[in-house]
Amino acid sequence: MKEPLLSSPTTASSLATTPAVLIRVTTILTLVAVSLWANYEASTSVDISVVNSADGSRAGRLFDLKFASNGRAHRIIHHASQFVEQVLYPDERYPRKPINRITLRLAGHDDLPFLASVSPGSGAGDYTIHVSPILMSAADADAALAAAVHRAVAKLWLWDGQRTAPEPLLEAAAEYLATAAGFGSRPNVAYAVALESNGTCWSAEFLRHCEAKRDGFVAGLNRGMQERWTELTADEAFGSPVQQACAAYRSAPPGRIMESSNSTTDSVEARLST
């Protein structure tokens, strides 16, 4: 009678330990994933609320129907915030502005100076975006509100040099971020090209031009604006005097400027898609 075949000690040991190893590896990977997700959520989590101060009016009813009741307003703010954060804070070297809560408020009257504006809330890290009810009468209210909110979200995520940064620069940076997100430039904007007393020009187009010359310029500029603004803040982000870049930009043929702007938009989209 033949003896039963016995597995070799090595084979038996391998079969016994393989499930245990797989369990340990799976557990470790799960813990790592949970930890990374928790850190991500902690760094990007922002409470969002929506307030309708035009309740009862036609604009208020449309706002409730199109944006408040279906969560569309929340999604617009979330996506805008996510996009802006990726551009301004690409890694841990760029200190993130502390924002805990964003409230989108449809104003009860249409005499606001802007279609959308930002004001600090009652607590630290709280901000309110005030949008005009005029947006509800636009031919494409969805696109109009999304564009206005993207610009407002971009502005509230920008550092402001402890309230000393030039306002034309902040407006230009917000416009740059909105156009990079796919929203076209607004026509007849007063600060389209603002010439500062020191010869520096600020516009979304000029920022695109600088970004084409130095990848990451806008993020670096925003990082510099965490501290008090000085004439060297932009120079340090650009790596050379911005005043000279402005002079070259203003004297360059329109075709060259357009080519630089297009290449910059492509590079931003490429970075965000990776």
Q: Which pLDDT belongs to residue 19?
A: 65
Instruction: Please give the share of the chain, as a percent, with pLDDT higher than 70.
Output: 70
Q: Which pLDDT belongs to residue 43?
A: 42
CB contact set of 162 (below 8 Å; sequence gap of 6+): 227, 228, 229
pLDDT of 109 strictly over 70:
yes
pTM listed for this prediction? 0.74
Q: Is residue 128 within a helix (H) or strand (E), and if so which, with residue range?
A: strand 126-131
Cα distance between residue 186 and residue 147, in whole Å: 10
The residue type found at 173 is: A
Q: Mean pLDDT, to the nearest integer, of 12-21?
A: 56
Average pLDDT of the chain to the nearest whole number: 81
Cα distance between residue 274 and residue 270, in whole Å: 7
Cα distance between residue 241 and residue 200, in whole Å: 10
- Of 10-19, 119-128, 224-233, least confident by mean pLDDT is 10-19
Higher pLDDT, 234 or 43: 234
Other C-beta atoms lying within 10 Å of the C-beta of residue 126: 16
Q: Which pLDDT belongs to residue 112?
A: 82
Q: Which pLDDT belongs to residue 123?
A: 85
